[in-house]
Amino acid sequence: MNIDARWIKVWRDLWSNKTRSLLVVLSIAVGVGAVGMIYNASQLIQRDLYGQFRQGNPAHVYLYLSPFPKEVANVVRGMREIRDAQVRRVVRAEIGKSGGGFVNLNLHVLPSTSEVEVGRFFVEQGAFPPKVREILLERQSARLLGYRIGDSVPIKLADGREYSLRFSGIVHDLNEIPFAILGDATAYVSVDTLRWMGELPAYNRLELVLELQGERVSKETALEAAEEVKKRVLEPSGFRLYSVRVPGVGSEPGDHWAHNQIRGFILILQIMSVMATLLSGGLIVNTISSILVQQTKQIGILRAIGASRKQIVSMYLLCVLIFAAAGLALAIPLGWAGSWWLASFAARFLNFDLTQVSLSFEVILIQAGIAILMPLGVAIFPILRGARISVYEAIYQHGLSRGRVSRLEQLLSRIRLADPPLLLSIRNTFRRKARLVFTLSTLTLAGAMFIASFSTHSSLVAQIHDAERYVAFDARLPLPQGTSKIAAEREALRVEGVSYAEGWAISEGVIVRSDSSESQGIEIVGLPANSKTIRPKLVSGRWLSGDPNSRQVVVNEDLLVEEPEIRVGEPLRVKVGNRTHTFVVVGVVSKHIFGPRIYMDYTSLSRLTGRQNEVDEIRVLAEEGKLSSVTVQDSLAEKLEERFRNAGISRANAITRSHFLGEFAGVFNIILLILLIMAGLLAIVGGLGLSGALGINIMERMREIGVLRAVGAANRALVKIILAESLVVSLVSWVMGAITSAVSSPVLAAVVVYAVLETQMNFRYSVVGLFLWFGVILMIGALSSLLPARRAASLQVREVLEYE
Amino acid sequence: MLGGLAQSNACACASESSLISLNGVSKIYHTDAGRFVALDNVNLQIQRGEFVAIVGKSGSGKTTLINLITGIDRPTKGEVCVDQVAVHRLKESEKALWRGVTIGVVFQFFQLLPTLTVIENVMLPMCLCNLYSGSERLERAYQLLRLVQMEHQAHKLPSFLSGGEQQRVAIARALANDPPIVATDEPTGNLDSRTAASIMELFEDLVRNGKTLLMVTHDPDLAARAQRTIALADGRIIQA
């Protein structure tokens, strides 16, 4: 085979420096692999999660009504705007865990006779509808609660009645927020079982699928359709509409409940993966530049024997192409494996099935585009510059001292230290400024993202802490049947260790807007104005005055996101059931995370609901004005439960403050983990870049290493000099990363928080992240210097002194 | 540590009186062009305090000879003993340390480290071999610079110095650890004749002060200033 000698030279040059070539290839592979991982995982998630979700014919809107018969659905189905309607009863109850203790349960009851048409689920084991006294569990609930088919499952209704049902089958339901996320279990029983449990065979939720006009159904259309149903069917039939809700967490009608969060999260990961690829560009520029510097004489010889500039450029472009192709060849399987991991992780977390871990042609195309265009794009400049050199310059001038020293070098020469080897490291660091800039920017960005990931987590946690103001109790006990305020508070104060108790009335209502349209359902709290289990942080206006006749309300910022027209000092029409009262908004309190809320005086709410002197929840403190330890909270909760059970008031489970907040923290840790993995990929690219730059530095300074050897540098001294140089770069990048993180952290935190919680939040910078990165960057610095230092130590003095 | 090196690598071949002793030393390079004998069965003794010029034509083996003595290269056959240490047995890292205290090397192209100032270049070998305390190092470096009349340039970077000045600094650096031997390969090859003369005077001063000086040169006038001349041809000593 007759191969052009030029191409043989290109190949030999690459092969003769395998370590350097490998670093470049790995760096491209990591960046492009990350792009493939994110894009492919995003496609897999969209295909499987959204595909399986759509197959279930998800509802566009839920209507929560007073008990109604299933026939209502038939009438609603006849309406022009409605494609499908279905009735469902969702009973709030509790379910026993196999290992003891109870957790919240949403018990779904669907008509036994008809097929489930809206929000379909898939029966994985057993049959639907279950027989009388049997229960089907959602698969994640079944797994996490620790039940096996045939087990007996204890169910506790809100009024405290307990039943034991046989676990007869497993259901996979994508419409419900998974147990792992919300901590609420999901189960299904038949109407007959409901009847057997002494409940009326009636329903409380009407689920609607609207006729599509265009591609999607907007929130407005969904709420309008619900309004039509109310006017034309519900009101004439005498059913009361409590609230209207679009399913999901801020999702659009028909979308998966976490659609916005997933989209936001994938976007962030995509940005980070593209960033990793761009950073690997730094290493390519460094490597190509150093090859060119090293081969200047050869370029001169090539030109002297007749090579045109174009030919020389094409030789080095081919070299870059080989790097790119090898990087791509590695990146494709890496990206595929990564996407498998990420999609499997998402599947476990979001409770969907990953059907097939395919790799789409589109993703390969994106990877190939980036893998080839990016290196060529960044390397073309040093190549063009290198090929411009004249024969004379290349052969006779190259390698001669510049005679001039840069201002920075002069400045650095003024540093006085007693340790010349250390000075050597410091000054060497700044010799190749362009190379240093690329290496530093890679590490700086990695650091900025690392710190930003931690700051995002800190901000999320800070948001929880902020929300703690609204759960400033030691324990809270729901009173599902409603109880006399005086009786409940008196009973709570009799519990040993309780020094303060207050009853809250809680209701659900809607806001009637100026155009008479109604909002989605909103939680309304009636509490004593001088409540001690809430420490409101006022964003504007003031807190409730305590005058029961003043008709004041305070809303939270979460409500302002949904109803931006609300203003302090302006009237607000609130409707509960059939009653509408007008209040004045006197203040806005900070975000709660757990949703929109309206606070009003206990008496005002009683008037609005017509339930005089009743409370729905009792909140207690062991010591007034102080929050107790987790142990005290747990013990209070236990005693509170027992007292109210014995008194026949409530058989519900008490919730402690720490338990309530702990559930949020778990989800946020997963977010931190994924962000850190991406920041880690950036750090790997940065580390490869640093190692590559050090390697190149050493190659360029072989003669100096020879001199060092000649004047007495043993292996340890050489390793120390190179390690110190690496650490100097790492430290400088840490400082720059810290500065950059002041910008990157609030941006990432805001984007993630908006994606996850659909809200803006208070930013909190993570000092822990800053110092953790300090440790990580020192480790990266140390590891990156290993290979170059070993190489330097293995050099023979004679070889390096002869080196050119 | 160096004492340990000397003990474990003590030279059996060396005669008691010789500082440098080469016994049956050959150096053969295997290149793509074939086998090349750079030194062929060389036997040589150099006494303490001698000023020895190594001369010969290009390719005669003079640089190879000095490289073997300084431990920069390794013999294919035979023994190289310097100051009772079998240099050929030392590992690369051990050789660096040993060289740092035993032989000061002066190169043709000065080879000062460009990012270190003059004084820092002189202090470097003391730091690398961990000799002298911090303040002593500085004091000694100044003293050496005074010796080579370069103390006024102490805080300049090498690129601000002329060739002759750089070579003076290189000599000061070679003397940093007060080694008994100074080895130099064409030390004036890159200098004008006036500067070369002043460097030679410096070398003569060193010898007067008890140093052993090995100098590779192809300049007969310079060689004539040495006490002893070793002439090489085709890898063999033809005059010792």
E strand map for A591-691: 597-601, 614-621, 655-656
Q: How many residues does chain B have?
A: 240
Q: Are residues A247 and A262 in the same domain?
A: no
A242-246, A640-644, B67-71: the lowest-pLDDT one: A242-246
Tokens of A593: 């995370």
**Interval A442-446 mean pLDDT:** 86
Q: Is the pLDDT of residue B113 over 90?
A: no
pLDDT at position A760, please?
65
Residues of B within 8 A of A715 (CB-CB) are: 92-93, 96
Nearest to B96 among A410, A420, A709 (CB): A709
Q: Are residues A757 and A768 in the same domain?
A: yes
Verify whether the Cβ–Cβ distance A703 to B173 is below 8 Å.
Answer: no
Burial A242-269 (b: 16+ CB within 10 A, else e): bbbbbbbbbbebbbbbbbbbbebbbebb
Question: In which element (H, E) is residue A240 found?
Answer: none
Give the Cα separation of A584 and A593 in Å (integer): 24
**If pLDDT is split at 50, 70 and 90, which confidence band does B13 have?**
low
Inside any domain, residue A777: yes
pLDDT at position A804, please?
40
**Interval A307-328 mean pLDDT:** 86
Q: What is the 3-state secondary structure (H, E, C) of A690-717?
A: HHHHHHHHHHHCHHHHHHHHHCCCCHHH
Quote ipTM for the complex: 0.72
Q: Which residues contact A439 (CB under 8 A, 6 or more apart)?
A: A282, A286, A686, A689, A690, A693, A729, A733
End-to-end CA distance of chain A: 32
Q: Are residues A120 and A47 in the same domain?
A: no
User: Could you tell me how many helices (H) and strands (E) chain A has, helices first?
Assistant: 26, 20
Verify whether the Cβ–Cβ distance A420 to B111 is below 8 Å.
Answer: no
Q: Are residues A176 and A92 in the same domain?
A: yes
Neighbours of A514 (CB within 10 A): 9
**Interval A550-564 mean pLDDT:** 87
B142 touching chain A per CB within 8 A: no
E strand map for A485-529: 500-512, 522-527
Q: Which domain holds residue B13?
A: 2-239
Give the Cα separation of A503 and A615 in Å (integer): 6
**If pLDDT is split at 50, 70 and 90, which confidence band does B5 have?**
low
Give the Cα separation of A364 and A35 in Å (integer): 10
Asked if B85 and B20 count as a contact pair (C-beta separation under 8 A), the reply is: no
Q: What is the 3-state secondary structure (H, E, C) of chain B?
A: CHHHHHHHCECCCCCCCEEEEEEEEEEEEEECCEEEEEEEEEEEEEECCCEEEEEECCCCCHHHHHHHHHCCCCCCEEEEEECCEEHHHCCHHHHHHHHHHHEEEECCCCCCCCCCCHHHHHHHHHHHCCCCCHHHHHHHHHHHHHHCCCHHHCCCCHHHCCHHHHHHHHHHHHCCCCCCEEEEECCCCCCCHHHHHHHHHHHHHHHHCCCEEEEECCCHHHHHCCCEEEEEECCEEEEC
Cis peptide before A236 (omega within 30 of 0): no
Provide the mean pLDDT of chain A: 84
Q: Is A548 exposed, middle or buried (0-12, 13-18, 19+ CB in 10 A)?
A: middle
Nearest to B125 among A412, A427, A712 (CB): A712
Give the Cα separation of A442 and A284 in Å (integer): 12
A727/chain B closest Cα distance in angstroms: 18
Neighbours of B194 (CB within 10 A): 8
Give the Cα separation of B14 and B12 in Å (integer): 6
- Of A226, A255, A284, the position where a domain reaches its end is A255
A796/chain B closest Cα distance in angstroms: 7
Q: Which domain holds residue A438?
A: 406-472+657-804
Give the Cα separation of A751 and B162 in Å (integer): 60
CATH number at residue B11: 3.40.50.300
pLDDT at position A395, please?
60
Give the Cα separation of A329 and A336 in Å (integer): 12
B180/chain A closest Cα distance in angstroms: 14
Describe the strand order of the beta sheet including B228-233 as a list of residue ranges. B103-106, B181-185, B212-216, B51-56, B228-233, B236-239
Q: Are residues A178 and A250 in the same domain?
A: yes
Verify whether the Cβ–Cβ distance B123 to A420 is below 8 Å.
Answer: yes
Q: Are residues A275 and A323 in the same domain?
A: yes
Nearest to A424 among B70, B105, B116 (CB): B116
pLDDT at position A400, please?
46
* Residue ranges of B 94-113 with Cβ closer than 8 A to chain A: 94-97, 99-101, 104-105, 107, 111-113
* Backbone torsions φ then ψ of A627, nearest 5 degrees: -100, 140
* pLDDT tens digits for range B73-97: 889 999 999 988 999 888 877 888 8
Inside any domain, residue A131: yes
Inside any domain, residue A645: no
DSSP-derived 3-state class of residue A765? coil
Q: Are residues A487 and A455 in the same domain?
A: no
- Of A240, A255, A270, the position where a domain reaches its end is A255
- Of A255, A279, A304, the position where a domain reaches its end is A255
Q: What's the structural domain count of chain B?
A: 1
Give the Cα separation of A178 and A137 in Å (integer): 12
Verify whether the Cβ–Cβ distance A707 to B99 is below 8 Å.
Answer: no
Residues of B within 8 A of A433 (CB-CB) are: none
Neighbours of A161 (CB within 10 A): 13
pLDDT above 70: percentage of residues in chain A: 93
DSSP-derived 3-state class of residue A771? helix
* pLDDT tens digits for range A49-72: 999 998 889 999 999 888 999 889
pLDDT at position A505, please?
93
Nearest to B96 among A402, A413, A713 (CB): A713
Which is nearest to A435 in space by CA: A694, A788, A686?
A: A694
Asked if A728 and A425 count as a contact pair (C-beta separation under 8 A), the reply is: yes
CA–chain centroid gap for B196, Å, is 17
B132/chain A closest Cα distance in angstroms: 12
Q: Are residues A483 and A425 in the same domain?
A: no
pLDDT at position A402, please?
46
* pLDDT tens digits for range A352-390: 998 888 888 999 999 999 888 888 888 888 888 887 776
pTM summary value: 0.71
Give the Cα separation of B90 and B72 in Å (integer): 11
Q: Are residues A494 and A616 in the same domain?
A: yes
* pLDDT tens digits for range A126-151: 888 899 999 999 999 999 899 999 99
**Interval A111-115 mean pLDDT:** 67
Q: Are residues A444 and A487 in the same domain?
A: no
Query: Nearest-CA residue of chain A relative to B90?
Result: A714
A427/chain B closest Cα distance in angstroms: 6
Q: What's the structural domain count of chain A?
A: 4
Asked if A82 and A225 count as a contact pair (C-beta separation under 8 A), the reply is: yes
Give the Cα separation of A459 and A750 in Å (integer): 9
Q: Are residues A334 and A392 in the same domain?
A: yes
Give the Cα separation of B94 and B199 in Å (integer): 31
Beta strands B228-233; B51-56: pairing state: parallel
pLDDT at position A113, please?
55
B157 touching chain A per CB within 8 A: yes
Q: Are residues A571 and A443 in the same domain?
A: no
Inside any domain, residue A639: no
A481-to-A94, A478, A528 alpha-carbon distances in Å: 15, 9, 20
